[in-house]
């Protein structure tokens, strides 16, 4: 039986911030120079975390809060790469065995890094992994599941970045996060609602996988029937899971769907203007901001990760 969904409180997030301070980096917030007539966009560079992605925030908090008994059983998670790296990193630091069910289309770079962190990997098709995410179970996994998004403590850890954002840019008008399972925006949105309720919290999804956009239009959790795999492997699910809908919908102001070409251009723009290497999901927020639908700013775009093979990155930005 799963614990009931409950709000992520400011005290949850502040406690997580203290708990993970020695593990995570307080990432910089940098202005993207788009000229005098361009929007005011700031980049929250979570690609600079030790695992090059924001997931380490939630993973470090969730692993730290496990009981001694649960740690002794070992931990496992399900991931396309970034959550797996975060959980493996936190588990290694705590001396806890770690297994990861990995989506078999995950980039080799992410697979190699999860193995390098000491995790045992089991590769499986996307559909099998998504079902495991919904069911919180996978054959042969008998340790403690650290769910990559449907986990209260995991989400509270992600909210810590919003505390940094509000402190570094008190004048911000909106914040944009990429959405896959929804843990990032649920955490960030919860912190923003508590600290700066006037700020808009916006989601970004790729056109090939945008179930949140459908869900917001319908007013209830929806599946995305035309889902297609793409280089945006760190975001865009097949559906919005009901438990995550309950977490996201109260803290969201809207959703912006972007094309894959928009995402490639955002990756290139960050590389040219700020020398930032982002993966596909890491560029979704900027792609959304550049549509103009988030206003003139200051807009904070969360660069959620930079785990991409450099050869692949060069090919993707050649647009």
In tens, the pLDDT along 78-126 reads: 998 889 999 999 999 999 999 999 999 888 888 999 999 999 999 999 8
Domain edge (last residue) among 145, 177, 203: 145
Please check whether residue 1 lies inside any domain of the structure: no
Do 25 and 48 reside in the same domain of the chain?
yes
Please check whether residue 5 lies inside any domain of the structure: no
Do 179 and 82 reside in the same domain of the chain?
no
Q: How far apart are CA 191 and CA 196, in angstroms?
A: 8
Q: What is the pLDDT of residue 290?
A: 97
Q: How confident is the model at residue 241 (pLDDT cuts 50, 70, 90)?
A: very high
Instruction: Count the residues in the chain.
Output: 319
Do 49 and 75 reside in the same domain of the chain?
no
Q: What is the pLDDT of residue 142?
A: 86
Do 291 and 309 reside in the same domain of the chain?
yes
Summary mean pLDDT of the chain? 95
Q: What is the pLDDT of residue 58?
A: 96
Please check whether residue 4 lies inside any domain of the structure: no
Domain edge (last residue) among 145, 169, 199: 145
Do 181 and 287 reside in the same domain of the chain?
yes
Do 113 and 212 reside in the same domain of the chain?
no
Confidence check: pLDDT of 271 > 90: yes
What domain range includes position 100?
56-145
Confidence check: pLDDT of 157 > 80: yes
Do 45 and 68 reside in the same domain of the chain?
no
In tens, the pLDDT along 179-232 reads: 999 999 999 999 999 999 999 999 999 999 999 999 999 999 999 999 998 999
Its pTM stands at: 0.94
Catalytically active residues are 55, 304
Domain of residue 275, CATH code:
3.40.50.1100
Please check whether residue 280 lies inside any domain of the structure: yes
Do 47 and 61 reside in the same domain of the chain?
no
Please check whether residue 61 lies inside any domain of the structure: yes
Q: What is the pLDDT of residue 194?
A: 98
| Residue with the two structure tokens 């929250």 | 44
Confidence check: pLDDT of 234 > 90: no
Percent of the chain with pLDDT strictly greater than 90 = 88
Q: How far apart are CA 60 and CA 55, in angstroms?
A: 9
CB atoms < 10 A from the CB of 309, how many? 15
Which of these, 148, 147, 180, 176, lies nearest to 162 by C-alpha position? 176
Q: What is the pLDDT of residue 190?
A: 98
Mind giving me the DSSP string for 141-163?
A: --SEE--SSS-HHHHHHHHHHHH
List the structure tokens of 66.
């496990």
Q: What is the pLDDT of residue 269?
A: 97
The helix (run of H) or strand (run of E) holding residue 29 is strand 29-32
Q: How far apart are CA 34 and CA 209, in angstroms?
A: 28
Do 141 and 281 reside in the same domain of the chain?
no
Domain edge (last residue) among 110, 145, 180: 145
Do 252 and 133 reside in the same domain of the chain?
no
Do 170 and 223 reside in the same domain of the chain?
yes
Please check whether residue 2 lies inside any domain of the structure: no
CB atoms < 10 A from the CB of 319, how many? 12
Q: What is the pLDDT of residue 105?
A: 86
Confidence check: pLDDT of 155 > 90: yes
Confidence check: pLDDT of 258 > 90: yes
Q: What is the pLDDT of residue 233?
A: 87
Count up the domains in the chain and report the number.
2
Cβ-based neighbours of 73, under 8 Å, separated by 6 or more: 142, 143, 144
Please check whether residue 150 lies inside any domain of the structure: no
The whole-number average pLDDT for the span 150-156 is 96
Q: What is the pLDDT of residue 49?
A: 97
Do 175 and 212 reside in the same domain of the chain?
yes
Please check whether residue 3 lies inside any domain of the structure: no
DSSP H helices in the chain = 10-20, 55-64, 68-73, 82-94, 108-116, 126-135, 152-168, 183-195, 211-218, 242-248, 260-274, 280-289, 310-316
Cβ-based neighbours of 244, under 8 Å, separated by 6 or more: 149, 150, 181, 182, 183, 186, 221
Report yes or no: 110 and 88 within 8 Å, Cβ to Cβ. Answer: no
Q: What is the pLDDT of residue 166?
A: 98
Confidence check: pLDDT of 319 > 80: no
Q: How confident is the model at residue 236 (pLDDT cuts 50, 70, 90)?
A: confident
């Amino acid at each position: 039986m799963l614990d009931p969904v409950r709000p992520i409180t400011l005290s949850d997030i502040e406690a997580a911030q203290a708990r993970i301070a020695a593990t995570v980096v307080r990432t910089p917030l940098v202005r993207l120079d788009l000229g005098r007539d361009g929007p005011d966009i700031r980049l929250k560079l979570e690609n600079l975390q030790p695992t090059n992605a924001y997931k380490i925030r939630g993973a470090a908090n969730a692993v730290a809060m496990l009981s001694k008994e649960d740690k002794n059983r070992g931990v496992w998670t399900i991931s396309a790469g970034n959550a797996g790296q975060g959980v493996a990193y936190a588990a290694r630091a705590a001396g806890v065995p770690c297994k990861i069910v990995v989506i078999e289309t995950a980039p080799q770079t992410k697979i190699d890094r999860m193995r390098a962190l000491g995790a045992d990997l089991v590769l499986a098709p996307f559909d099998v992994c998504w079902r495991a995410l919904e069911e919180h179970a996978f054959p042969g996994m008998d340790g403690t599941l650290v769910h990559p998004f449907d986990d209260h403590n995991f989400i509270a850890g992600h909210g810590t970045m919003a505390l940094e954002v509000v402190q570094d840019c008190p004048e911000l008008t909106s914040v944009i996060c990429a959405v896959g399972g929804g843990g990032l925006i649920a955490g960030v949105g919860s912190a923003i609602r508590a600290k700066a309720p006037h700020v808009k919290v916006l989601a970004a999804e790729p056109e090939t996988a945008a179930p949140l956009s459908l869900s917001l239009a319908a007013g209830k959790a929806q599946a995305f029937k035309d889902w297609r795999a793409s280089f945006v492997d760190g975001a865009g699910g097949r559906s919005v899971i009901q438990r995550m809908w309950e977490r996201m919908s109260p803290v969201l102001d809207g959703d912006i769907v972007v094309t894959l070409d928009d995402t490639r251009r955002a990756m290139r723009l960050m590389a040219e203007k700020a020398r930032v290497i982002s993966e596909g999901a890491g560029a979704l927020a900027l792609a959304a901001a550049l549509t103009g639908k988030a206003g003139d700013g200051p807009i904070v775009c969360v660069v959620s990760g930079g785990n991409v093979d450099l050869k692949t990155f060069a090919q993707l930005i050649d647009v």
